[in-house]
């Protein structure tokens, strides 16, 4: 995969130090440790605010992850498209069916290391039901799901447990949602 903010020689270590300092100044804790499994789907929830993105960047830098993330294609237009790609972005056209699950499954097969961050809500707005694309990508690619989270009331964000998808989508999705039940987003009204 391409060079990103998480893998730029000389610059990434400097940005990591800045991330540690900024998190400390904001009073936030980055929970988790470096990941030894180089292939996984990372989900991040609750996704309730535009501020989730810079917070995620800080946490991921501190925890030394090399992450790509999926975002709506409008984020990748001129003049910010190059920056968004350098920040690890993968543009997704949500206006039509593009079989993103199949495309991402094939990308996992091609890569020896790949971590893609996907917000299961699919948006910062309040939703009644999570999207299941992240689940199908992980299951089809044969990789685990890592549960990443924001918990604004505790001022912490990070990585929790690995989850291995089974053949029971409904049961698995309920187990994943149960993990996030006590996590508070930056804008609780959008959770």
Q: Write out pLDDT tens, residues 58-81.
A: 999 999 999 999 888 888 999 999
**Is there a domain that residue 93 lies in?**
yes
**Is there a domain that residue 149 lies in?**
yes
**Is there a domain that residue 87 lies in?**
yes
**Is there a domain that residue 41 lies in?**
yes
**Is there a domain that residue 1 lies in?**
no
**Is there a domain that residue 3 lies in?**
no
d(CA 98, CA 31) in angstroms, rounded, equals 35
Name the percent of the chain lying above pLDDT 70: 94
**Is there a domain that residue 4 lies in?**
no
User: How much is the average pLDDT of 117-133?
Assistant: 77
pLDDT at 34: 81
- Whole-number average pLDDT of the chain: 90
Structural domain containing residue 180: 11-190
**Is there a domain that residue 6 lies in?**
no
How many domains does the chain divide into? Answer: 1
State yes or no: pLDDT of 123 exceeds 70: no
Give phi and psi for 99, each to the nearest 5.
50, 55
Name the percent of the chain lying above pLDDT 90: 69
| Sole residue written with tokens 């804008």 | 187
State yes or no: pLDDT of 124 exceeds 60: no
pLDDT at 94: 67
Alpha helices in the chain (DSSP H): 11-26, 52-62, 81-86, 100-110, 133-141, 169-180
């Amino acid at each position: 995969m391409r060079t990103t903010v998480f893998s730029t020689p000389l610059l990434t270590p400097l940005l990591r130090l800045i991330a540690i300092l900024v998190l400390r100044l904001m009073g936030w804790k980055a929970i988790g440790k470096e990941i030894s499994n180089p292939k996984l789907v990372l989900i991040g929830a609750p996704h309730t605010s535009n501020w989730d993105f810079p917070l995620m960047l800080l946490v991921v830098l501190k925890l030394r992850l090399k992450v790509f993330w999926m975002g709506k294609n409008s984020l990748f237009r001129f003049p910010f498209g190059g920056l968004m790609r350098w920040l690890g972005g993968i543009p997704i056209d949500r206006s039509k069916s593009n079989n993103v699950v199949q495309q991402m499954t094939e990308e996992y097969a091609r890569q020896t290391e790949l971590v893609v961050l996907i917000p299961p809500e699919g948006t910062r707005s309040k939703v009644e039901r999570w999207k299941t694309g992240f689940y199908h990508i992980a299951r089809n690619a044969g990789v685990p799901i890592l549960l990443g989270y924001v918990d604004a009331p505790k001022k912490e964000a990070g990585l929790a447990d690995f989850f291995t998808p089974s053949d029971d989508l409904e049961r698995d999705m309920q187990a994943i949602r149960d993990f996030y039940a006590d996590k508070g987003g930056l804008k609780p009204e959008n959770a």
